[in-house]
Structure 1
Amino acid sequence: MFSKKSIFTFLQAQVAAFLGGITDYGLMILLTEVFKLHFAFSILISGIVGAVVNFSINRFWVFKNQSGYSSHINSQLLRFALVVLGSISLKSSGTLILQKVFQIDYRIGRLITDSFVSYGFNYPLIKYWVFKVNEKQKVIKLN
């Protein structure tokens, strides 16, 4: 059902997501607790920084063999930026809803929201849209 390569790619993507997520989550806490920004703004800022970490690791390590360096980074960056905007929106609104409606601390609500957004939104879009291999690239690799 799943090849060793697809499982390995998934695990690599989880490492990239974890490192980007740790950067994102740590910066969110710092901006909220130390600099007293509202957590929704902290999520926006930290999400952008975490996205840069995540994109870099995905492009140069995880999906390097699929999209290679011949792919146009501009189109990947544009698609990735759209995924990040959607991700940040989902994380911010999900965290806010959990905090306002269910009285869950924003730090816990963020972790809950992140788990759904990461696996249900980010990973599929990054793998199948941002760093997808098109038919032309497959032919070039086979030659």
Structure 2
Amino acid sequence: MLRFFKAQASSLMASAADFLVTLAAVKLFGLWYLAGSITGTLTGGVINFYINRNWVFQAHAKALRWQVVKYIIVWTGNLALLTSGVYLLTHFYHLNYMLSKLLVSVTVGISYNYIMQKQFIFSVK
């Protein structure tokens, strides 16, 4: 159970960076909200991998190369789910893109990311 809470703390840290980068990309650099969201998701993904590998799952002794390959596979699914969800909620339901991102991020984070990282990337039994 402690690992789950550590993973959620890691997710919050990565999400904070993700949301800040998304806002900066859209508001300061004028990117389309989906491009900003993708940029933020990439940033958050790098941060999340580092924290999860070294702190949450303590898998720093395992082969980095294969963890990175597995993470990219899972992260690509995360990116597809997140981008699709943000687009659908923003475009069709007229929610603010940041609210859409928050709702989809929480849903995907709990239902997909943690499970895939625990069972596939960092292989914790």
TM-score tier, shorter chain, comes to over 0.9
Gaps of 5+ in 2: none
Q: Which residue of 2 aligns with 1:87?
A: 78
Q: Which residue of 2 aligns with 1:60?
A: 54
State TM-score, norm by structure 1: 0.83
Q: Which residue of 1 aligns with 2:98?
A: 107
Q: Render the CA deviation track for 1:25-76: whole Å, top value 9, x for unaligned.
A: 1100110111110111112211111111101110111111xx341x111000
How far 1:133 sits from its partner (Å)?
4.2
Q: Render the CA deviation track for 1:68-105: whole Å, top value 9, x for unaligned.
A: 41x11100001111111111111111011001111111
Q: Which residue of 1 aligns with 2:32?
A: 38
In structure 2, C-alpha distance between the alignment counterparts of 1:72 and 1:103, rounded to whole Å: 44
Q: Which residue of 2 aligns with 1:141?
A: none
AA partner of residue 105 (structure 2): D
State whether structure 2 residue 6 is matched by structure 1 residue 12.
yes
Gaps of 5+ in 1: 1-6, 135-143
State TM-score, norm by structure 2: 0.95
In structure 2, C-alpha distance between the alignment counterparts of 1:129 and 1:80, rounded to whole Å: 9
SS at match of 1:10: helix
Check conservation: 1:76, 1:131, Cα contact below 8 A.
Answer: yes
Rg (Cα) greater in structure: 1
SS at match of 1:132: coil
User: How many residues are paired up?
Assistant: 125
AA partner of residue 91 (structure 1): L
In structure 2, C-alpha distance between the alignment counterparts of 1:102 and 1:130, rounded to whole Å: 34
Percent identity, please: 25
